[in-house]
A and B are shown apart, each in its own frame.
Chain A
């Protein structure tokens, strides 16, 4: 079983649709992240959850709504998206330093969900 699993791998949606991206980590980590990767741009950190609480929200539009029901699962709910939201959405996990764990600073990434908004 891979460490971080993302589904679906590919998603095409219209601007009026509602869909969700799912991320599951099997590494026992307690922090999870959503990143957006657009062509020719740096990876953009969108949200961070630590111990199931949202600790970072980088001015992301409200049409993106994260949910972290437990330390192993992270969702990104999508509604009324725009074509410029088309990108690769990457989920990652790590062990939170604040919990006293040993953190090498390494993020473990999933393979991403390629989103196309028509």
Chain B
């Protein structure tokens, strides 16, 4: 069975501070994928990143960076120089490959991030 744990329910930081959102996962699959999605107040989940289990290189995209560590089963997400527009609920998700080819995502409970101006 797959499981994703986001232990931080809510985080508040002052604008321009850096913030890290934690994600720990469990899976028996040898091949799997990890995702982060952002859910702004409008409701729709917005895809941020997908990493496969064979690629442990950290990734940076602008102010966003991701730290994937297989040894600790973690896929943490850091926002540097946070901005008010970063306020949202962030979901970490995990998938294997289902038998028909589509990837079925297991989501964490989400972390609500509030950036204080």
Contacts and interface: CB of A to CB of B under 8 A. Distances in A.
B62 interface: no
A48 B104 contact: yes
Given A96-B100, A104-B50, A105-B50, A42 B107 contact: yes
A42 B108 CA distance: 5
Interface of B: 4, 9, 33, 35, 37, 42-47, 50, 91, 95, 97-98, 100-110
A108 B47 CA distance: 7
B4 A111 contact: no
A72 interface: no
A115 to B, nearest CB: 12
A111 B109 contact: no
Given A42-B108, A43-B91, A112 B102 contact: no
A48 to B, nearest CB: 7
Contact of B45 (A45, A104, A105, A107): A107
Contacts of B45: 90, 92, 107, 109
Given A41-B109, A105-B95, 11 more contacts: A31-B102, A40-B109, A42-B4, A42-B110, A90-B44, A96-B101, A103-B103, A108-B47, A109-B44, A110-B44, A111-B44
Contacts of A42: 4, 106-110
B104 A56 contact: yes
A25 interface: no
A85 to B, nearest CB: 18
